[in-house]
Amino acid sequence: MNGFVGFMQSTAGRLLRIVAGVVLIVSGIWLVGGIAGAILAIIGAIPLIAGIVGICLFAPLFGYSLNGQPRASARI
């Protein structure tokens, strides 16, 4: 497994995504505010949800499925 994808699928990687998502949401709501803050909070929801669900949105770029398993086409 690619090192990056392996890290992102580990507990530390999932926690990193969750923390990053919460930081973006809190920053958007309390620090930025307005439309820009709302957009930042929505963007922050993406890594938060990905970390909670346990998927890596960058894994397909490295030939893996969203859950970190090699694709069938990548095994050949």
Range of the domain at 47: 13-75
Per-residue pLDDT for the chain (76 aa), expressed as one digit of tens each?
Answer: 578 888 888 889 999 999 999 999 999 999 998 999 999 999 999 999 999 998 888 888 888 888 777 776 655 4
The answer to whether residue 17 sits within a structural domain is yes
Per-residue confidence (pLDDT) for residue 74, from 0 to 100: 52
The answer to whether residue 52 sits within a structural domain is yes
Q: Closest by alpha carbon to 5, among 59, 60, 49, 65?
A: 59
Classify 64 as helix, strand or coil: strand
What is the number of domains present in the chain? Answer: 1
The answer to whether residue 50 sits within a structural domain is yes
The answer to whether residue 1 sits within a structural domain is no
Per-residue confidence (pLDDT) for residue 18, from 0 to 100: 95
Per-residue confidence (pLDDT) for residue 17, from 0 to 100: 94
Q: Which helix (H) or strand (E) holds 32?
A: none
The answer to whether residue 30 sits within a structural domain is yes
The answer to whether residue 4 sits within a structural domain is no
